[in-house]
């Protein structure tokens, strides 16, 4: 079928850096709770750059989940569309995955294969500088509303969601069970065993002593 609808839902970000995992966690939850008809791809894009070009070029419609610094209160969601998407991703970059992904969007355009519609569902992060940490409560609470917005967009694109009758088999999940939010959080080493801060020059709030002792 040449005219079958095709769309891709892409979660990007690094789940090892606290709220930067927002995009990946949204796709994980969407996948865990809902089923869709054929033609919809859910992708855990992580921090992959160029490897995501094929997904962008192939999609007629593209929905992106990501943590984006809009200068808003933590957990607030923002919907950005089409030409504004690369601009937003480029405006206040928090993480290099966005440099990579902005470039992927530009390259898709350069090669003349760009989705007809692009929507970015961005969430204002609260904390990034917590290596090995998970989402902060404010950002975690935003997943539900983000999914509601996503379901409405997908329905408009012709992909009606059905709640899963039975839990998703781990092996089929878009994000590996080992890295699922539950196991990721449960097995985290203690702060004493594993230093949780990054480079203090970029982290004025972090106490230097915490880095050196312990």
Partner 1 sequence: MQYQTQGFSLDNSGRRIVVDPVTRIEGHMRIETNIDEHNVIRNAVSTGTMWRGLEVILKGRDPRDAWAFVERICGVCTGCHALASVRAVEDALQIQIPPNAHLIRELMAKTLQVHDHAVHFYHLHALDWVDIVNALKADPKKTSELQQMVSPAHPLSSPGYFRDVQSRIKKFVDSGQLGPFMNGYWGNKAYALPPEANLMAVTHYLEALDLQKEWVKIHTIFGGKNPHPNYLVGGVPCAINLDGDLAAGAPINMERLNFVKARIDEIIAFNNNVYLPDVLAIGTLYKQAGWLYGGGLAATNLMDYGDYPHVQYDKSTDQLPGGAILGGNWDEIHPVDPRDPEQVQEFVAHSWYKYADESRGLHPWDGVTEPHFELGPGTKGSRTALEQVDESAKYSWVKSPRWRGHAMEVGPLARYVLGYAHALKGNRYALRMKEQVDYSARMINQDVPKLLGFAPTELGLKQLLPTTIGRTLARAMESQYCGEMMLADWTELVDNIRNGDTSTANVEKWDPSTWPAEAKGAGPVAAPRGANCHWIRIKDGRIENYQCIVPSTWNGGPRDAKGQIGAFEAALLGMPVSDPEQPLEILRTLHSFDPCMACATHVMSPDGQELAKVTVR
Residue 14 or 124: the one with the smaller Cβ distance to partner 1 is 14
Cβ neighbours, 10 Å, residue 155: 11
Residue 83 binds to partner 1 (criterion: CB under 8 A): no
* Cβ 164 to partner 1 shortest distance, Å: 17
Q: Counting contacts by CB under 8 A, is residue 136 touching partner 1?
A: no
Burial (0-12, 13-18, 19+ Cβ within 10 Å), 200: middle
**In the bound complex, what is the minimum distance in angstroms from residue 152's beta carbon to partner 1?**
27
CA 132, CA 112: separation in Å to the nearest integer? 39
DSSP 137-167: HHHHHHHHHHHHHHHHHHHHTT---EE-SSP
The reply on whether position 106 binds partner 1 by CB under 8 A is yes
Phi, psi of 75 (to 5 degrees): 90, -10
Tokens representing 40 are 């919809």
Based on CB atoms, which residue is closest to partner 1, 160 or 210?
Answer: 210
Which residues 148-177 are close enough to bind partner 1 by CB under 8 A?
171-172, 174, 176
Backbone angles phi, psi at 50, to 5 degrees: -60, -25
By the criterion CB under 8 A, which residues form the site for partner 1? 14-17, 43-54, 57, 90, 92-100, 103, 106-107, 109-112, 128-129, 131-132, 171-172, 174, 176, 178-179, 187-189, 193-195, 197-202, 204, 208, 211-212
């Amino acid at each position: 079928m040449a005219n079958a609808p095709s769309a891709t839902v892409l979660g990007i970000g690094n789940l090892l850096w606290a709220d930067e995992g927002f995009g990946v966690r949204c796709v994980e939850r969407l996948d865990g709770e809902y089923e869709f008809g054929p033609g919809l791809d859910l992708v855990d894009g992580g921090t992959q750059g160029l490897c995501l070009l094929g997904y962008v070029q192939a999609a007629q419609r593209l929905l992106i989940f990501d943590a984006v610094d809009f200068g808003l209160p933590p957990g607030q969601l923002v919907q950005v569309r089409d030409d504004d998407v690369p601009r937003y991703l480029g405006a206040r970059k928090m993480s290099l995955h966005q440099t990579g992904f902005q470039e992927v969007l530009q390259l898709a355009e350069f090669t003349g294969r760009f989705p007809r519609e692009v929507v970015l569902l961005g969430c204002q992060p609260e904390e990034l500088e917590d290596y090995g940490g998970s989402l902060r409560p404010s950002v975690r609470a935003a997943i539900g509303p983000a999914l509601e917005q996503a379901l409405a967009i997908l329905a408009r694109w012709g992909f009606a969601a059905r709640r899963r009758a039975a839990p998703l088999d781990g092996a089929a999940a878009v994000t590996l069970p080992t890295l699922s939010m539950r196991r990721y959080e449960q097995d985290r080493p203690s702060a004493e065993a594993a230093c949780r801060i990054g480079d203090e020059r970029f982290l004025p709030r972090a106490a230097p002593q915490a880095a050196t002792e312990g």
